Amino acid sequence: MAILEVHNIEKNFGTLQVLQGISFSLEKGESMAIIGSSGSGKTTLLRCLNFLERPDNGKIMVNNEVIFDALDPCTQRESEVRKKRLHFGLVFQNFNLFPQYTALKNITLAAELLAKERPNFQKDKRIILKEIQEKGEMLLAQVGLSDKRDYYPHQLSGGQQQRVAIARALAMEPDILCFDEPTSALDPELTGEVLKVIRNLADRNTTMVIVTHEMAFARDVADRILFMDEGVIVEQGTPQEVFENPKEERTRQFLTRYNES
């Protein structure tokens, strides 16, 4: 059963049609890579899934529950959106860690704030906060940064910052974790450590949507490739299908250009 279903998403910025009817679905545990040239709408699609942009048209369903419907204003209310967006996690291109908090606090902050809304928070405060803390430490270990728990973002390299950002997104236990070009802001020698973490997540069957320019990585890690151009999905399939036997002319052109450079 599909964990995520996206129906006919459209998004315009003024007269510019960025997304022109995007539909796809994603199985639980599947990792999908979205490829395509700059301006093809990949990032906007991710931002729509994370409620950072409001689609002009279309419907998004998670676990058969409608979490966004352009025709139903009820799904767009601020309080509703806040709860529903936690189905998704997002890792940004430029990390966006909170500079005034340590690596560990970056990971635990949102969970702590959310815990305050639990009815038993006052009573079980200590236990709850301790659990969050331990989970944060566990996640730091998972991304290989246990020794950096008390470091501030500016004391970390770009790769380390992005790994903290991945742990921070995981802390909210999203159903679907999205990556927006996670290695594009990194020096080439730092991309490896971040890709390794994402690869580990794929091995653990984390459901992921990864927008990337790292073709070799996409081919290697993703279960499915989605090629976008000018706001539409041109082609999708397994890495083998898309990379080795692309059906569409546009896909072929894109991949050739990529192989040349």
Partner 1 sequence: MNEIPVIIDRLSESFLLNCQLFALTLIFSLPLGLVIAFGSMSRFYPLRWLSRTFVWIIRGTPLMLQLIIIFYAPGLLDMSFTWPNGASGRFVAAVVAFVINYACYFSEIFRGGIESIPKGQYEAGQVLGMTKTQIFFKVILLQVVKRILPPVGNEVITLVKDTSLARIIANKEIIMMAGEYSSKGLIWPLFATGIYFLIFVGALTLLLGWFEKKLSYFRA
Greatest CA span in the chain, whole angstroms? 63
Q: Give the total of residues touching partner 1 (CB under 8 A).
A: 28
Number of neighbouring beta carbons within 10 Å of residue 180: 22
The 184-223 site mask, x for binding partner 1 (CB under 8 A), equals ----------------------------------------
Q: Measured at the alpha carbon of residue 228, what is the angle toward residues 223 and 232, in degrees to the nearest 5?
A: 125
Continuous segment of H or E residues that includes residue 12: strand 2-13
Which residues have C-beta within 8 Å of that of residue 117, sequence separation ≥ 6?
A: none
Of 89, 136, 159, 246, the residue at the interface with partner 1 (CB under 8 A) is 89
Continuous segment of H or E residues that includes residue 208: strand 208-211
The 49-68 site mask, x for binding partner 1 (CB under 8 A), equals -xxx----------------
Shortest distance, CB of residue 185 to partner 1, whole angstroms? Answer: 11
Which residues have C-beta within 8 Å of that of residue 65, sequence separation ≥ 6?
A: none
Q: Is 16 near partner 1 (CB under 8 A)?
A: no
Of 23, 98, 203, 253, the residue at the interface with partner 1 (CB under 8 A) is 98
Of 96, 133, 157, 200, the residue at the interface with partner 1 (CB under 8 A) is 96
4 touches 30 (CB < 8 A): no
Give the 3-state secondary structure of residue 257: helix
Quick one: tokens of 118? 């639990």
Of 14-22, 99-107, 223-231, 251-259: span binding partner 1 (CB under 8 A): 99-107
Question: Which residue lies nearer to partner 1 by CB, 177 or 242?
Answer: 177
- Contact residues: partner 1, CB under 8 A: 50-52, 82-83, 85-86, 88-90, 92, 94, 96-101, 109-110, 113-114, 152-154, 168-169, 172
